[in-house]
Structure 1
């Protein structure tokens, strides 16, 4: 079989945010992404990833990783006798941001080549999808004010709010933040995201206090290598940093009721779909999450989100300017434009 000659383009981009995005590990003022374009001579598939600093990824390291596989992906290497596929990609690269950009670019290219959209291939019907809106780490008063603004924008619906905690000022300050937010947003559905920022004794000593806030999910409260005690605590925990791909699900702490699937962790939509199916078999709830990025990152995750219990895909609303034909955000509802920038023919 004659191998198709492709051309690969890789570029790093930095998108300014409307305001700082702050979590327990620090804050950012830009969304730094790597974009991959795969050109087969007449069509171009695009994918975007966000280097995961938590795991030592940078714009430079992710770009270098993609460059290293570029000859095989383009077909200029003699290591394969066929056109490089997404199946080849799963064994050629480890999970992570670099593989995500390539995997999503291949999905996009395939949609254009075969004339069939990604949701059609997956048997999904796009629809407006409720998404969590994030309140980043700040003082209790400012976080409560942010919650109030969210509720004012969407007064007719029960808002899904994701609250970033794990500040350097300690667990007691986080309890103050939760109290202030609950005073303002008593009826909101609340997800708490700690980004590994608490200590075991914090949770053990304050189970009743945490239960009093009626939290739907407590996401990754402890470091991934120190979360054993969660299995003995009756609170709704969601794994993020503790689970990356489907292999990790086989060793997941039984204390977790839910897993957060992010394409930059799984290494693309292909593995994310596999992971979602396995999570269902294990009776786990599924959240589809994101990094702060453009709609080019978010659209593959949107289609995954059509099958999830919780969706947290508000990344583009933090950008000063999203890409053309990106996802539409109206309050907490996300939907597709008439001709989406990704996954369409």
Structure 2
């Protein structure tokens, strides 16, 4: 297709060329008639003589010869290093004595997959999937998070002041396991995220036992059900709480199929792993909290913003609420 400022379409070029070649119009007269330059009229008339009506289409502006193009042997070396070592343009350039932009152009020219789209272990392209409807698959995972001492930790005040706040911690229920080292304890983020809509539900619990995981799932299932989502499958890792009889019986009683990831393959549960990273970046470490209570108080507001307002790249910039049929409860 011609560009937006082109005075002639393919049909206009054909009419101009026929006026010159078949009707014998002078080039200047044809150029004035179609309001183009004489050189333009000459070009389309010449193409018509050479190729007929097929010559009126646009041609690539790529040159026929590129004497300064990277040699084929060098291109093959770049591709070989990329496939064998899975390095980026900069590291390949340092190894081969080239400029990183040259390596990047070669990789782009041959349409080699970005490293972020490759499995580091096998080098194969990551297969990304998305179930067609909400509830077809729910990803469940647990993230262990260290508690913040009262007054703030090292992220808020630096190592020296944060260390003093941590050392001042005295909790009789959590004795020190090492001399001089405080035992602040951990919070366990139990997360459930819908594969299709990315609607998420999170709770902070004191442990990751089978009783806590099962109770969390019952509340998470009620959350999804309340928003019009019928859960059919649940995907977890191979943690002990998810291999327990209590967990299995709870899902079976609800008519839910339990699926587990392959051992040592967290990529299978990638949506939950990515959600964990989002939690850390945008909530857990988003600001210098002065206490664990302050950080936990900020979770419900962040979770609401994530589900209702935060644009998701996998959803073309729309929030998870845009894919949930009954998020506001208007159909209940």
TM-score tier (shorter): under 0.3
Q: Give TM-score, length-normalised by structure 2.
A: 0.23
- The structure with the greater share of residues assigned to strand is 1
- The structure with the greater share of residues assigned to helix is 2
Larger Rg: 2
